[in-house]
Structure 1
Amino acid sequence: MAMRVDIHGEVLGGSAGLTDARPQRSEDGRPAGRSPRPVKRGESGTQGRQQTIVDWLTFTFLPTGSIGDAFEQLARYFQLWFGLPVTLTANGYGFRRYESSSDVMAYVNGQTVRLGIIGAGGDHVGGTICLDLSGVGCAAVVDWDAVYATVQDLDARITRCDLARDFCEGEVTVDQVESLYFAGDFNAGGRIPVYRRIESGVAGAGACGGRTLEIGRRKNGKMLRAYEKGRQLGKQDSEWLRIEIEFRSKDRVVDHRILIERDSYFVGAYKALEAFLDADPKRLATDQKTALEVQDEIVCERALDHAQHQYGKLVEYASISDRYQNAAALVARITRRGVPAQAFKTAVARHVHGGHVIPSNLRE
């Protein structure tokens, strides 16, 4: 029988292929294999509200009871994390080395949206449970202090945490980041990390699809990506740059405080980042709400461009018929409830944090 847990932690079904055997903790009460090398924290020039966001989070923990008990416990924690109801639903397949998994699902605008996935069970996972929260799931979090308290309470081991900052008005460019790299400002413990530059576009239009600069390697536990987010989404003249740092527990400990002191850990990753984030107050990163508004506008306008190209003639033809002379009737005829896949993140954020401002092209 599939397992389903509602937001109040009530188990609505039995577990599917999951053992209820209680795992044992290591002698010091922590998961085995924890590295002694911590992620570095820097000094951030901003106080109060954090401008850096968590855009991906993965952690593992050893449950103190059965797997079913652990799922109920997570459901109770989720009440504190998320700004909307969620359910845990077994999906019938494994996840990474875990033999079973369940989706963390939310219902937004008539459509189910996956926020994350939980893996459990298996012979090669040391009795742990894994929670993998995507960028969509992170956008649904309303209280990162509660997430921090959860990982503390569970004695969890963070295996991945992505931090990101957005610069939507061209305050920072890929060229600036690249210049600092070649000047040696990304020196990490006496070593210069490797870099890779990627760009996409079409002949005659340059890198209209966006440029990406990667510094470091994922397999080494820390990698920076600076990429033209707006162009990646399809707006060829966008100046929006996103800087992401992916931290993994490869030969290092990802400290729990990274979840609540995000600005400090972001700057602490590479000294060079202080040049963008602290030197000039006008160069402070765009807050998440504004970045999501920009993303929402780009995604919607691009989708509408496709709709115009594919169905514009049909809409025009239908509008001159006797049946659909009223534009509202025509819109009602072709509208269906749901959320476009590319808009999942902004739809969740809008539902949780309130409506966005009206896109600039629709303002009077």
Structure 2
Amino acid sequence: MAVDRAVLAGSGLPSSNRGVSEFRNEAGTLTVGIDWFSASVDLFAALREVDFTDGETQEEMRQWIDASADNARTAALQVFCWFFAGLGLELDVAASGGRFYLWRVKIINAAKEFVGMIELGGEECRRADGTYTARIELTGTGCKTVGAARCGHAKRWLELRAKLESCAGRITRVDVCADDLIGDYPLRLAQKWYADGEFNNRGQRPKAQLVDDYDSGDGKTLYIGGKKSEKQLRVYEKGREQGDKNSPWVRYEAQFRKSDRKEIPLDVLRDPASYLLGAYPVLNFLHCVATRIDITKAAVEATWKSARRHLRRQYGATLAFISRNCPDAESLKAVIETCTSPKLPRWATGDTAALWPEIAGVNQPQRGIA
């Protein structure tokens, strides 16, 4: 969500490189969004989503991908189309050697700028359970491009969340940024909070470092937490960094990394403001953003579409067999219930049933009779 032009004009803030401002307060002076994203996904689940596999075993497919850069690029294109099609991004024309995997293919925007990558292939791409993975990444500019596509944060990022869930996705890094555009929460306030122990965790004070511009106007940066730790908060004078020496714009940017001890929940894509606030309760000014997020309907819509698609693709033939061999609705229900679990998925709510068109359709007459 872009900052209002009137706000920018009145505050002297530069209009470029604002990151992904998805949620904002009514005045438009406080915004929260996602500024970096990377995840590992089940490669073959993603390829099945686009019907790319044709009876090959996972090992055969992996060996085919490893065999040449052209093969790797072809497979990466399928992954790219599944996760990012329609968002104004493109896949580079060639694959090169990867950092974490055998191959990597750059993601570029309309201006041909590097905004992310897809990595796949090699012997090191397996999880402990044997799942072959690919890695997807979006830089801050890539996230901004996603943020500008279509309409509404929930629509864009919740679609990505649902697709990650369908492919056993695990977020490996996500940066969440809160922009105070008028300087209500300046860097010196964050310094005071640190001195007062507001960033302490279970009695332990994280490391901190101040990069001082000595009032040159280039902008100060305060780091709280280690660069390689599970989380690090950076507070910096963003407007001054961008070249406006008098800008009040301050950014609070948290970098979260997956570790062997802690996973990053996919819900950070649904509600980055609340996730940032949960990690750093002292940032309670974010309540004015988090409490205004109304994304339940979009979240449910993205989830039921994914669930229905997978049900049809993976078990549609089995359900057709069961349906054709049950003489009436009651016997069909009885057979289906023998295949169910007593637990419901975490996304299942009353809203889900109301928005799932087939379920709503069979329930509506009953409500009318009642």
Q: Does the pair score TM above 0.5?
A: yes
TM range (shorter): 0.5 to 0.7
1:114 aligns with 2:94: no
Q: 1:208 to 1:154 in 2, by over 3 A?
A: same
Tell me how far apart the structure 2 counterparts of residues 249 and 219 of structure 1 sit (CA, whole Å): 10
Q: 1:238 to 1:71 in 2, by over 3 A?
A: same
1:96 aligns with 2:99: yes
Tell me how far apart the structure 2 counterparts of residues 166 and 218 of structure 1 sit (CA, whole Å): 21
- What is aligned with 1:146? 159
Tell me how far apart the structure 2 counterparts of residues 207 and 261 of structure 1 sit (CA, whole Å): 36
Q: 1:151 to 1:189 in 2, by over 3 A?
A: farther
Post-superposition CA distance 1:53-105 (Å, at most 9, x none):
0100000112125454563143133125x2x2x32225442231212111112
The answer to whether the Cα contact below 8 Å between 1:222 and 1:246 also exists between their aligned partners in 2 is: yes
Letter in 2 for 1:258: V
Counterpart secondary structure, 1:271? coil
- What is aligned with 1:55? 35
Give identity over the alignment, percent. Answer: 28
Counterpart secondary structure, 1:116? strand
Counterpart secondary structure, 2:101? coil
The answer to whether the Cα contact below 8 Å between 1:163 and 1:244 also exists between their aligned partners in 2 is: yes
Instruction: Between the two structures, name the one with larger relative contact order (CA 8 Å, sep ≥ 6).
Output: 1
Q: 1:207 to 1:100 in 2, by over 3 A?
A: same
Counterpart secondary structure, 2:283? helix
- What is aligned with 1:30? none
Count of residue pairs brought into register by the alignment: 228
Letter in 1 for 2:262: R
- Taking the TM superposition and a 5 Å limit, the aligned residue runs for 1:2-13 are none
Among residues 208, 214, 226, which one is paired with 2:235 in the alignment? Answer: 226
- Taking the TM superposition and a 5 Å limit, the aligned residue runs for 1:1-364 are 51-64=31-44, 66=61, 68-69=74-75, 71-79=77-85, 82=87, 84=88, 86-107=89-110, 111-126=111-126, 127-141=132-146, 142=149, 143-200=156-213, 206-250=215-259, 251-274=261-284, 276-278=285-287
Per the TM alignment, residue 45 of structure 1 is displaced from its structure 2 partner at its CA by 12
The answer to whether the Cα contact below 8 Å between 1:103 and 1:114 also exists between their aligned partners in 2 is: yes
Letter in 2 for 1:190: G
The answer to whether the Cα contact below 8 Å between 2:117 and 2:137 also exists between their aligned partners in 1 is: yes
Q: 1:92 to 1:148 in 2, by over 3 A?
A: closer
Per the TM alignment, residue 189 of structure 1 is displaced from its structure 2 partner at its CA by 2.7
Tell me how far apart the structure 2 counterparts of residues 241 and 46 of structure 1 sit (CA, whole Å): 16
Counterpart secondary structure, 2:220? strand
Tell me how far apart the structure 1 counterparts of residues 222 and 35 of structure 2 sit (CA, whole Å): 18
Post-superposition CA distance 1:103-133 (Å, at most 9, x none):
11222xxx32222111111222223211110
Letter in 2 for 1:54: I
Greater shift, 157-166 or 190-199, is seen at 190-199
The answer to whether the Cα contact below 8 Å between 1:218 and 1:248 also exists between their aligned partners in 2 is: no
Per the TM alignment, residue 209 of structure 1 is displaced from its structure 2 partner at its CA by 1.0
Letter in 2 for 1:75: C
Q: 1:69 to 1:94 in 2, by over 3 A?
A: closer
Q: 1:214 to 1:237 in 2, by over 3 A?
A: same
Tell me how far apart the structure 1 counterparts of residues 90 and 76 of structure 2 sit (CA, whole Å): 14
Tell me how far apart the structure 2 counterparts of residues 87 and 230 of structure 1 sit (CA, whole Å): 30
Counterpart secondary structure, 1:52? strand
Letter in 1 for 2:34: V
The answer to whether the Cα contact below 8 Å between 1:230 and 1:241 also exists between their aligned partners in 2 is: yes
- What is aligned with 1:334? none
The answer to whether the Cα contact below 8 Å between 2:273 and 2:286 also exists between their aligned partners in 1 is: no
User: TM-score, normalising length from structure 2?
Assistant: 0.57
The answer to whether the Cα contact below 8 Å between 1:245 and 1:266 also exists between their aligned partners in 2 is: yes
Per the TM alignment, residue 167 of structure 1 is displaced from its structure 2 partner at its CA by 0.9
Higher helix share: 2
The answer to whether the Cα contact below 8 Å between 2:231 and 2:256 also exists between their aligned partners in 1 is: yes
Post-superposition CA distance 1:187-215 (Å, at most 9, x none):
213321111110225xxxx2411100110
Counterpart secondary structure, 1:218? coil
Post-superposition CA distance 1:273-295 (Å, at most 9, x none):
11x323xx5x999xxxxxxxxxx
Gaps of 5+ in 2: 1-22, 45-52, 54-60, 66-73, 127-131, 150-155, 292-370
The answer to whether the Cα contact below 8 Å between 1:226 and 1:241 also exists between their aligned partners in 2 is: yes
Gaps of 5+ in 1: 1-43, 286-364
